Structure 1
Amino acid sequence: MRHKSAGRLAAVASAALMLLGGAATSAQAAAPGLVLYSIDFSNPKERDNNDLPEPYGRIWLEAPWGRQTALWEHPDVDLNTPTLPRYPDDGPYTTRYVDHPVTQVCAFVGEDDTGINEDDVLADGCVPVDGSGSYTISTDEGSVTVNLYDV
């Protein structure tokens, strides 16, 4: 009886390690290292003077065990939240060093509508990362697209 329980436990542990090992291997191909990226903010409901979003919040890359590396952060400063349809706004991409494997990109980004209507939520959640590409996190009110050029 004892050998059967130990055998089952070993089989379950082996299967779990295989699953974790496969996930870690594909994620490790995506990091650690230098990440080249840009971010696009979209709010189709924006209707002020320039029709461009004023995003605030946080966007980050996440490891399988929850470790995070921020790609972009900005507080909500009401009337002083800057207009930013794209980050960086002065070049095609920016870089960040990530010292862990990357399995997902996450974002919680609001859009400031002080004095016009309620703030919109552009992104709230995470999507899996599978190497370079564009990853969009969206809500009914807008979206954030993280373009990973070299992961």
Structure 2
Amino acid sequence: MRLTFMGRLAATGSAVLLLLGGAAASAQAAAPGPVMYSIEFSNPQERDDNDLPEPYGRVWLQAPWGQETALWEHPDVGLYTPTLPRYPDSGLYEVRYADHPVTELCAFVNEDDTGINDDDVLAAGCVPVVGPGEYTVTGEDGSVTVTLYDV
């Protein structure tokens, strides 16, 4: 009897350690620190002079309690909203410091269409972050893809 109890105790302890080890690895991947990233803006129906989007809005990383770290933001300036298919437009990636754990990537980004067209919605929402990788937030008319190289 005693051996069975000790065997179960050892198995339970091993399972707990495995779970804690996995949680520690996940927490470490999304812990406070530098974030290396790039952003792609996609609007498949864009049909102006260069077929490139003119995005405006905001992209950010979020903590479980709602604290945010902005990755990109730009106001709508009508005819003067710049064309931007990728951020950063020069270089491979941008670096920001997140002083909180990261659990979500959020993007609310529109695309400026002046004249008779309504602005397009490229991204509207949040997706969970589990570590480095590509994360895409979609909208009615396109998408925003953020590549997290290190988080």
TM-score, normalisation: structure 1 = 0.82
Tell me the equivalent position of 2:38.
Answer: 38
Query: Over the residues paired in the alignment, what is the CA RMSD in angstroms?
Result: 1.5
Is 1:72 paired with 2:79?
Answer: no
Letter in 1 for 2:145: T
Tell me the equivalent position of 1:123.
Answer: 123
Tell me the equivalent position of 2:110.
Answer: 110
State how far apart, in whole Å, the 1-side matches of 2:76 and 2:128 are: 27
Tell me the equivalent position of 1:87.
Answer: 87
Tell me the equivalent position of 2:49.
Answer: 49
Structure 1 residue ranges (4+ consecutive) displaced by more than 3 angstroms after TM superposition: 22-25
Over 3 Å counting, the alpha-carbon distance change for 1:31 and 1:49 in structure 2 is same
Tell me the equivalent position of 1:29.
Answer: 29
Q: CA deviation at 1:116?
A: 4.9
Letter in 2 for 1:50: N
**1:27 and 1:103 in contact (8 A); partners too:** no
Tell me the equivalent position of 1:12.
Answer: none
Letter in 2 for 1:118: D
State how far apart, in whole Å, the 1-side matches of 2:44 and 2:93 are: 23
- Consecutive unaligned residues of structure 2, counting only runs of 5 or more, are 1-21
Q: SS in structure 2 opposite 1:127? A: strand
Over 3 Å counting, the alpha-carbon distance change for 1:141 and 1:24 in structure 2 is farther
Over 3 Å counting, the alpha-carbon distance change for 1:51 and 1:116 in structure 2 is farther
State how far apart, in whole Å, the 1-side matches of 2:57 and 2:48 are: 20
Q: CA deviation at 1:28?
A: 4.4
State how far apart, in whole Å, the 1-side matches of 2:116 and 2:88 are: 26
Question: How big is each residue's C-alpha offset from its partner over 1:15-56, in whole Å with a ceiling of 9 and x where there is no partner?
Answer: xxxxxxx87873443120000000000000100000000000
Q: CA deviation at 1:115?
A: 1.6
Q: SS in structure 2 opposite 1:26? A: helix
Tell me the equivalent position of 1:146.
Answer: 146
